[in-house]
């Protein structure tokens, strides 16, 4: 008799399931542009079958993509099991824009795709291959539930699907057989046994801590201190309500832009801080400009915070799925009119966040909460999102390769990421650096921010102010 298989989700991965509501979609996504190149067919279409064959062959390296959710009967805790009805064609889809399709049409399509939640009865991902773009391009719109992936592991997956040199070779597909899933009764018994073993291990750990003494106690004290600093950073207080923080619906808009990475580094080198500090300073200036110019809302005296995910993935976890992130809560000084002072204030704050180890603190808070049953977690998350809004926006910045990548010989031109919108968040920003450019994905609620182009303009206005200041300092 074949041995059954299942794998529990981590507490953090489970929380992304619990956070999802009708209007709060918890999938991450991206719009990836390619030169058609060798994938162009004689009729000027794209060789979709070769792309599908390539993706299907790569699934052997990412087994999570053939797994679906199941739930423990007595506490509804989610687990992964192999999908015995896996249908590759369902997940890799093909569509086309009316030729010649332009960027605005592709952005509208991406907005519609990310407005729809993933089917939880199937593996939680979709890839849309989009042809019909002008200038001989095609796109892939990828949508993956956040419980499967974070930004850094997403880059690892990109390295699986893409190559650093143009090659038209496709790996041979390997046969796959789903492992049998446990019955509900078997799953319940197994999880009860696992939780019992964990309690015993925890008691053993306490005994070991007492035996080994000061060193482990010191590590625990450091974690608790970092957790306390993380809470004091604003997680338990409400940020200022702005026109960007209204109730949102299920529908989305998507826009993008790019900036030269050397230009961002020029600002960093001339004015101080890190690349990520400059990104946050550009964001702060854009928010100030957009609120005052486009919404007639005074930025004076407001408390505007962003949540910035920070990877805590160890080198030995490279390539693994699931989330290995902690959350920084960063005050953006949008009330400050001087762009250089904004940058210096952000650099000082992020330096404090590093020194107080708030990434460790946030991760510790997650660990301390990890025994919470999923139904209770879901209720708590929904109550919190409707009463306390500790941050106004998500800003995530993922470093990518600074050289061209290829999909079966077709050069990747750009990768614009899409971060989920939390409750009462009208805009979210995600960035990906690639081949000398900083690529911005602007994800917005359809009704709250119908003028995403104006927000993109505000980003460039802020970038120009900092560039002028950097030129003057140089």
CB 234 within 8 A of CB 419: no
Phi, psi of 375, rounded to the nearest 5 degrees: -60, -40
350's tokens = 């992020």
> Residue 333's pLDDT is what?
97
> Residue 244's pLDDT is what?
97
264's tokens = 């961002």
CB 87 within 8 A of CB 126: no
Report pTM.
0.86
* Sequence ranges of the domains in the chain: 7-161, 227-402+414-473
> Residue 153's pLDDT is what?
47
Q: What is the 3-state secondary structure (H, E, C) of 195-259?
A: HHHHHHHHHHHHHHHHHHCHHHHHHHHHHHHHHHHHHHHHHCCCCCCCCCCCCCCCCEEEEEEEE
* CA separation, residue 94 to residues 32, 131, 207, 263, 338 (Å): 14, 8, 57, 37, 48
**384: pLDDT strictly greater than 80:** no
CB 244 within 8 A of CB 449: yes
Q: Tell me the percentage of the chain whose pLDDT exceeds 70.
A: 79
**472: pLDDT strictly greater than 60:** yes
- pLDDT range class, residue 277, cuts 50, 70, 90: very high
CB 242 within 8 A of CB 392: yes
Question: For 118-213, where are the alpha helices, taking DSSP H only?
Answer: 151-161, 184-212
- Average pLDDT estimate for 232-258: 89
> Residue 425's pLDDT is what?
96
**116: pLDDT strictly greater than 90:** yes
Q: What is the 3-state secondary structure (H, E, C) of 380-433?
A: HHHHHHHHCCCCCEEEEEECCCCCCCEECCEEEEEEEEECCCCCCCCEEEEEEE
**256: pLDDT strictly greater than 50:** yes
The residue with greater pLDDT, 399 or 325, is: 399
**393: pLDDT strictly greater than 70:** yes
**377: pLDDT strictly greater than 50:** no
**120: pLDDT strictly greater than 70:** yes
- Average pLDDT estimate for 393-422: 95
172's tokens = 């041979």
Exposure of 303 by Cβ count < 10 A (0-12 exposed, 13-18 middle, 19+ buried)?
middle
> Residue 371's pLDDT is what?
47
pLDDT in tens, 149-193: 754 445 556 678 899 999 889 999 999 999 999 999 999 999 988
> Residue 113's pLDDT is what?
98
Say which CATH superfamily domain 7-161 falls into: Chloramphenicol acetyltransferase-like domain (3.30.559.10)
**100: pLDDT strictly greater than 80:** yes
* CA separation, residue 151 to residues 31, 319, 334, 417 (Å): 14, 11, 26, 9
- pLDDT range class, residue 10, cuts 50, 70, 90: confident
CB 116 within 8 A of CB 93: no
Q: Which of 336, 331, 246 is nearest to 288 (CA)?
A: 336
> Residue 44's pLDDT is what?
84
pLDDT in tens, 284-309: 999 999 999 999 999 999 999 999 98
Fold match flag (7-161 vs 227-402+414-473):
yes
- Average pLDDT estimate for 36-46: 91
Strand partners, 393: 306
- Average pLDDT estimate for 443-448: 98
Say which CATH superfamily domain 227-402+414-473 falls into: Nonribosomal peptide synthetase, condensation domain (3.30.559.30)
Say if strands 393-398 and 304-311 run parallel, antiparallel, or are unpaired: parallel
289's tokens = 């400009």
- Average pLDDT estimate for 379-397: 70
Q: What is the 3-state secondary structure (H, E, C) of 46-107?
A: ECHHHHHHHHHHHHHHCHHHHEEEEECCCCCCEEEEECCCCCHHHHEEEEEEEEEECHHHHH
**DSSP 3-state assignment of 144?**
strand
**378: pLDDT strictly greater than 60:** no
* CA separation, residue 397 to residues 143, 379, 410, 424 (Å): 18, 30, 25, 21
> Residue 168's pLDDT is what?
86
């Amino acid at each position: 008799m074949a041995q059954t298989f299942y794998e529990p989700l981590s507490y953090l991965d489970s929380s992304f399931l619990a956070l999802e509501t009708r209007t709060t979609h918890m999938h991450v996504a991206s719009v990836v542009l390619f030169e058609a190149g060798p994938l162009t067919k004689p009729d000027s279409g794209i060789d979709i079958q070769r792309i599908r064959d390539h993706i299907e062959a790569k699934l052997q390296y990412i087994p999570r993509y053939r797994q679906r959710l199941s739930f423990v009967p007595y506490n509804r805790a989610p687990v992964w099991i192999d999908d015995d009805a896996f249908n590759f064609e369902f997940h890799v889809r093909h569509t086309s824009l009316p030729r010649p399709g332009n960027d605005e049409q592709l952005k509208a399509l991406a907005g519609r795709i990310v407005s729809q939640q993933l089917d939880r009865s199937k593996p939680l991902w979709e890839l849309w291959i989009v042809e019909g773009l002008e200038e001989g391009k095609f796109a892939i719109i990828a949508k993956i539930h956040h419980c499967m992936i974070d930004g850094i592991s997403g880059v690892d997956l990109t390295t699986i699907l893409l190559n650093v040199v143009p090659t038209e070779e496709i790996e041979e597909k390997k046969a796959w057989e789903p492992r049998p899933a446990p019955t509900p009764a078997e799953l319940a018994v197994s999880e009860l046994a696992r939780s019992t073993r964990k309690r015993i291990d925890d008691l053993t750990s306490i005994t070991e801590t007492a035996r080994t003494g000061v060193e482990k106690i010191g590590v625990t004290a450091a974690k608790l201190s970092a957790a306390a600093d993380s809470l004091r950073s604003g997680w338990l207080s409400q940020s200022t309500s702005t026109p960007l923080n209204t109730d949102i619906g299920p529908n989305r808009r998507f826009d993008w832009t790019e900036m030269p990475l050397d230009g961002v580094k020029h600002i960093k080198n001339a004015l101080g801080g890190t690349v990520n500090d400059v990104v946050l300073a550009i964001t702060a200036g854009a928010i100030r400009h957009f609120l005052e110019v486009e919404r007639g809302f005074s930025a004076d005296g407001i408390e505007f915070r962003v949540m910035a995910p920070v990877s805590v993935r160890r080198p030995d976890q490279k390539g693994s799925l699931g989330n290995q992130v902690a959350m920084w809560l960063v005050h953006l000084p949008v009330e400050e009119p001087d762009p250089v002072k904004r940058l210096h204030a952000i650099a000082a704050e992020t330096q404090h966040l590093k020194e107080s180890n708030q990434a460790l603190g946030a991760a510790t808070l997650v660990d301390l909460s990890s025994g919470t049953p999923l139904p209770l977690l879901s209720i708590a998350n929904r109550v919190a999102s409707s009463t306390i809004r500790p941050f106004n926006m998500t800003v995530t910045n993922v470093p990518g390769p600074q050289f061209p990548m290829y999909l079966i010989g077709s050069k990747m031109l750009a990768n614009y990421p899409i971060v989920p919108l939390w409750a009462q968040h009208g805009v979210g920003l995600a960035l990906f650096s690639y081949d000398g450019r900083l690529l911005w994905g602007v994800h917005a609620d359809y009704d709250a921010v119908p003028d995403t182009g104006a927000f993109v303009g505000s980003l460039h206005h802020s970038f120009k102010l900092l560039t002028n200041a950097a030129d003057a300092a140089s």
